[in-house]
Structure 1
Amino acid sequence: MTAPNPVVSVHEIADPDAMHALGVRLGRVLRAGDLVILTGPLGAGKTTLTRGIGEGLGVRGPVQSPTFVLARTHPSLVGGAPLVHVDAYRLADAGELDDLDLDFERSVVVAEWGAGLVDTRGSWLELVIERPLGDAAPAGDTEAEDIDWSEAPVEARRVTITGTGPRWAEETL
């Protein structure tokens, strides 16, 4: 049986506050077992979005980029599902992701750079963040996802959300 056709929505995001707010809205509809795959260039706002998701879920923060630890778990403060925030950039394949022993069933898993690694599940959300061509993180910034947006030019983003599988067949995104 094939999964239902993907549900797609497109959001124009004016600034970091709007990216965070989109994350909060998503966090309020996510539940244990949900997988969110984030795709976008360095500095696109993946971690800002994930901070919003964490706020919407009511998890303990701060939500920071998991670049150096590969995965961080943020327990719920409100009796809901924990947030597992994964940076899959340095993972070679889905087998290495399995080695992290993540609790996909009882957590909300957000995987930055996870396209192609974790999309073998029955249902998932993929968010593709685009920013205007030629934009880059501030010079000398080695951790672009954690940049101080107040010091960087504010550029609009486009976020395309694709929900695939039975979990997202009826959900409004």
Structure 2
Amino acid sequence: MVRRNDARRGSLVDASIEVLAREGARGLTFRAVDAEAAVPTGTASNYFANRDDLLTQAAARVYERLQPDEATVERQRSAPRDRETYTVLMRELIGRISAFRTGYLALLELRLESTRRPALRAVLTEQVRADVEANVAYHEASGLPGDATAVRLLILTFNWLIVEQLTLPDVFSEAERDRLVEAAVDRIVTG
């Protein structure tokens, strides 16, 4: 049995995210991942059964890297349960996603590719559904204003705001984005 290095596997998955963001799903090859990770040609093919395996692991890694750290979660738990806190949380979320630009762009590429790959679609559907439900459950337990529908509407609203920011960053300034986040929380959460 071949013993594989988990750190190297992680760096290959991270490299695949960079390739996806830069080249798109069609440009994601084992050779491109090897080059991005600066490892010998053939390395990625030793770690992943096939391209679909690499795609699904890249999707999982994006979600893993987008999770807030424990200090952020703890600070959120101890904050007041009001509209202002909600607005701050949403701004931080958008900031965290925007800071991992290549991850979100890779995720968009994966979503497009999932329209052609049923196995990838199944993995992404499960991941996104679990993410939405985790956000709803966290919200309901948090005592913040709004209900499950408000959480889902904010997810949909902010996903497109993030797409605009990452693909056409000059459409909205940072100040406009902040005002839009506040307006969305006001209108969707507190009516």
User: Shorter-chain-normalised TM-score: which range?
Assistant: under 0.3
Higher strand share: 1
Q: Please, what TM-score do these two structures have when normalized by structure 1? A: 0.27
Higher helix share: 2
Over alpha carbons, which structure has the higher Rg?
Answer: 2
The answer to which structure, 1 or 2, has the higher relative contact order (CA under 8 A, 6+ apart) is: 1
